[in-house]
Structure 1
Amino acid sequence: MTGELFPRERAEIAPGAVHLPDWIGPRRQGELLAACREWARPPAGLRTVHTPGGGTMTARQVCLGLHWYPYGYARTAVDGDGAPVKPMPGWLAALGREAVLAAYGTPLPPAEEYDIALVNFYAGDSRMGMHRDAEERSGAPVVSLSLGDSCLFRFGNTVSRGRPFRDVELRSGDLFVFGGPARRAFHGVPKVLPGTAPPGLGLTGRLNITLRVGGLGS
């Protein structure tokens, strides 16, 4: 949003959880959107995720590097068309390193490498329940990039899905990184704010690109 009285500033939402508003400029947002559209095409493209309990996630998803499914990883889209997952681009892994440095002021250790990306597409009525990113063996920070419509992002604690939690508005171009004591915190998206995407981006809805270090070996 432009023309605000006070610019949004970097904020530590919890120890290890950092919000950097407007971190991705308009040009890079456009490049990321174009890449997401290519990744979403079959094979191993955008899919609807079904939970073991019979539920259906309202946000649709495509994966890079490794395919996430409840509650594990595979090299093929085991709950989709069964095709091999698309590779994790080197430039996207490098963007993850850049994000960690911006959030913490210290680089990701050389031995760690972002090798998994989950791209979630939220329509105006989509939600994401409180959950933890817990299938990875690595404790490296999770990097979250937002494109399109703003959302209400709820960042909680490491013990339960309930309080205490803090709600943050994430807008197109925002970066959110959580690691260290916040790495296994519950988090979710209770609300998307339709019609808030930058007009020049050309996206209706919200895209969230989440980068993770799997530490899962070969």
Structure 2
Amino acid sequence: MEVPTVQASQLMSLRQSTDTQWNPQIDYAPTQTEIFCSSDTAAGGGFAMAMAQKHGGDRPWLWVQDERSRKRSGVPYLYGLPESLRHDCHYVAADKVEDALFALEEGLKCSALSFVIGEISGDPKALGFTQSRRLAFASENYGVPLYLIRGDAERSLSAARMRWDIEAAMSLPCATNSKASGSPVWNAELFRSRLYRPSRWKLGHDDGALTIVSSANRLDMVAISGDRPLAEAGSA
């Protein structure tokens, strides 16, 4: 199947957009977002849900896992999901990575879905740059956001518009019990983006919304080769 090409005007637009600072309240067109994390914690899945919740619970949504993700991280727990999203979750447990990728791409082509979450563990050959490009195109062409959780994966070449590295952090204080855990917090690094400047954040999830706990500008840091914004690469 032919892979769609990107026009020069689109590349210029993407290059200019990297001057913008990301924040949780900003609105952007549906696209593919990658979330890198350890499979030993639920940080990646929690962050994906926090990001996706803004798309609303008025339409069904899809969660797809490959077999290795299920063995390493477990399966989604219905009553652990945000209440507004529990009733319309469609879950796919794929045995093979290829089956999971097929389900993700088909889900992204269904405009009736509000968003899609996928979990692919490690660095399978099936999830190369070409497949990543297909997922990004399907997400943007059909208007369905994709949050792809990459447990224990390397930062290989990808067509994802935003790429995050996520770690669990100490939760916020509980308002009703000082000895209990409060709302979740993540150390989040937007290390690669075609839409916004690279940046580091401490992000929380409170009252159904992603919030900024603190931030640390990353502009004076050197990114890993291949992970710099187009604007930085052009001036290097």
TM-score (norm 2): 0.29
Higher relative helix content: 2
CA radius of gyration, larger in: 2
TM-score (norm 1): 0.31
Higher relative strand content: 1
